[in-house]
Amino acid sequence: MDTKDLLNKVREDNVKFISYQFTDVTGAVKSVDAPINRLKDALEDGVWFDGSSVEGFARIQESDMRLVIDPNTYAVLPWTDPELRRARVFCDIFTPDNLPFEGDPRGTLKEVLRKITAKGWVFNVGPEPEFFLFKRNGDKTHPVPHDVGGYFDFSADDEAVRVRSELIEALNSMGLDVEVGHHEVALGQHEIDFRFAEALQTADNVLTLKYTVKAIAAKYGLIASFMPKPIFGINGSGMHCHQSIFDDAGNNLFFDPKDEYRLSKLAYAFIAGQLAHARALTAIVAPTNNSYKRLVPGYEAPVYIGWAQQNRSALIRIPRFTEGRDKAVRAELRFPDPSSNPYLAFAAILAAGLDGIEKNMTPPEPLNNVNIYHLTESERESMGIPSLPGSLGEALGELEKDEVIKDALGPITYEAFRRAKLEERDGFRTAVTDWETNRYLETA
């Protein structure tokens, strides 16, 4: 869509306001809103804003930043009042010198994607973000699930189905091409999957899904949460990422009809790279203190570093091949969660895979028919199966040592991310929790 097409489209849609959107380094969506009569000027000159107060952006003396609109990301926000209809566009961030800002997460992903574009390749991602719907009961410390359903449960007519149906309709209207929505394992837990696409578009789609889910839930007086582990003792929310690399002609470069798993040498090297960098990747794809309450044995979330076909305890799973569907051959990365910034997550996982390709890495033997959770620590050591970090602090330490992932983020984004996450880690480390007072108040 070019500038003229966009101006015509907003008139056809009777849009009154435009939200110019971008994210900070943690993935929080930021917005500069303006009346529609300012759109033409914004398309020509950009939108200036003060970047000094946004996490990971400029210092005060360099605070002026310019948003450059990506017209292809235009979408009407379907929950807004027709009389005050709003639409959104995602933007790239530039400095006053008209250079791409190196701390822009969307720009960080675009920079990594240039490496495969130069090879004539396309990195496709199909994420599966999970979320909870909670009743708004005024008690954030004890969230109450919205429904009593379980995995794939069907109900002919209840509020959870109505909410999910409205969500799917809204997301389709915004261009996500939803494939399926269903109830997940835990009470109040849901998943909506949309068709895989090129990584930049997919990252935009993940953000769209998250704030659309929150907006529609709020209409029903509900809280939508993408917190990885909101309730102790039940499954948390992940964002499994199905990945493949295609060439410009639409051929799946992960596919080899002669291989046992239908995987090409390029796919094996890509998998090997992600396994080699998994401990550092964890800081990016599982970036909150709470993420490490999900990454524990016993709840389907992976903890140990390995790959397999049809083994849901493995970090990377290869879905079973269906004859004639060579484009569907892919690697499913299972440890990301939806609290991550999708731009940084996709940039990091691609960089890890590309490092495997460039160094012609070979993955270890697959962990088929092995329940890793049932192995003892010594058995895992003898089989050469390492584990993911057990805390955000440990993951940040691994990231600090990994030059490949740090280089993919770039020095400005990396330092901003590290600074934000160290502050988060220290806030958690110094907080006194209910568990501690219950355990120690009278016994210590």
Asked whether the beta carbons of 316 and 324 are under 8 A apart, the reply is: no
Asked whether the beta carbons of 336 and 286 are under 8 A apart, the reply is: yes
Catalytic residue among 104, 130, 147, 256: 130
Catalytic residue flag (residue 179)? no
**Residue 137: predicted pLDDT:** 73
Catalytic residue flag (residue 190)? no
**Residue 141: predicted pLDDT:** 64
Band of residue 58 on the pLDDT scale cut at 50, 70, 90: low
Helix pair angle (265-276, 278-285), 10° resolution:
80
- 425 and 292 in one domain? yes
Catalytic residue flag (residue 85)? no
Band of residue 136 on the pLDDT scale cut at 50, 70, 90: confident
Catalytic residue flag (residue 130)? yes
- 128 and 22 in one domain? no
- Paired strand residues for 255: 263
- 331 and 399 in one domain? yes
Q: Is residue 205 part of a domain?
A: yes
- 66 and 117 in one domain? no
Total tally of structural domains belonging to the chain? 2
Q: Is residue 444 part of a domain?
A: no
In this prediction, residues 356-382 reach a mean pLDDT of 86
Catalytic residue among 104, 332, 337, 402: 332
Distance CA 245, CA 242 (A): 11
Catalytic residue flag (residue 332)? yes
In this prediction, residues 285-314 reach a mean pLDDT of 87
Which of 344-353, 373-382, 418-427 has the least mean pLDDT?
373-382
- 114 and 93 in one domain? no
* Straight-line distance from the first to the last Cα atom of the chain, in angstroms, rounded to the nearest whole number: 65
Catalytic residue among 38, 162, 195, 312: 312
Of 44, 71, 100, the position where a domain reaches its end is 100
Share of the chain above pLDDT 70, in %: 92
Q: Is residue 251 part of a domain?
A: yes
Residue 116 has pLDDT above 70, yes or no: yes
Q: Is residue 421 part of a domain?
A: yes
Residue 159 has pLDDT above 80, yes or no: no
Rounded to 5°, the CA angle 379-385-386 comes to 115
Distance CA 379, CA 399 (A): 27
**Residue 3: predicted pLDDT:** 84
Q: Which domain holds residue 240?
A: 110-438
Catalytic residue among 24, 104, 128, 355: 128
Catalytic residue flag (residue 128)? yes
Whether pTM exceeds 0.75: yes
Residue 327 has pLDDT above 70, yes or no: yes
- 137 and 54 in one domain? no
Asked whether the beta carbons of 38 and 57 are under 8 A apart, the reply is: no
Of 100, 118, 146, the position where a domain reaches its end is 100
Distance CA 66, CA 45 (A): 9
Token code pair at residue 105? 């997460």
Of 44, 69, 100, the position where a domain reaches its end is 100
Catalytic residue among 104, 147, 191, 355: 191
Catalytic residue flag (residue 330)? no
- 156 and 61 in one domain? no
Mean pLDDT rounded to a whole number for the chain: 89
Give me the half-sphere count of Cα atoms (radius 13 Å) on the Cβ side of residue 242.
Answer: 16
Q: Is residue 22 part of a domain?
A: yes
Catalytic residue flag (residue 191)? yes
Catalytic residue among 41, 45, 50, 139: 50
- 128 and 92 in one domain? no
Identity at 147, one-letter amino acid code = D
Residues 420-434: tens digit of each pLDDT: 999 999 999 999 998
- 403 and 269 in one domain? yes
Distance CA 313, CA 298 (A): 9
- 76 and 123 in one domain? no
Residue 373 has pLDDT above 90, yes or no: no
Query: Any idea what the CATH number is for the domain that residue 59 is in?
Result: 3.10.20.70
Distance CA 224, CA 211 (A): 9
Catalytic residue among 24, 184, 398, 402: 184
Catalytic residue flag (residue 442)? no
H/E/C letters for each residue in the chain? CCHHHHHHHHHHCCCCEEEEEEECCCCCEEEEEEEHHHHHHHHHHCEEEEHHHCCCCCCHHHCEEEEEECHHHCEECCCCCHHHCEEEEEEEEECCCCCECCCCHHHHHHHHHHHHHCCCEEEEEEEEEEEEEEECCCCCCCCEECCCCCCCCCCCCCHHHHHHHHHHHHHHHCCCCEEEEEECCCCCEEEEEECCEEHHHHHHHHHHHHHHHHHHHHHCCEEEECCCCCCCCCCCCCEEEEEEEEECCCCECCECCCCCCCECHHHHHHHHHHHHCHHHHHHHHCCCCCHHHHCCCCCCCCCECCEEECCCCCCEEECCCCCCCHHHCCEEECCCCCCCCHHHHHHHHHHHHHHHHHCCCCCCCCCCCCCHHHCCHHHHHHCCCCECCCCHHHHHHHHHHCHHHHHHHCHHHHHHHHHHHHHHHHHHHHCCCHHHHHHHCCCC
Catalytic residue among 334, 337, 402, 425: 334
Query: Any idea what the CATH number is for the domain that residue 354 is in?
Result: 3.30.590.10
- Closest among 154, 13, 191 to 89, alpha carbons compared: 13
Distance CA 392, CA 232 (A): 18
Catalytic residue among 86, 106, 240, 317: 240
- 95 and 129 in one domain? no
Q: Is residue 404 part of a domain?
A: yes
- 310 and 206 in one domain? yes
Compare 400 and 82 and report the one with higher pLDDT. Answer: 400
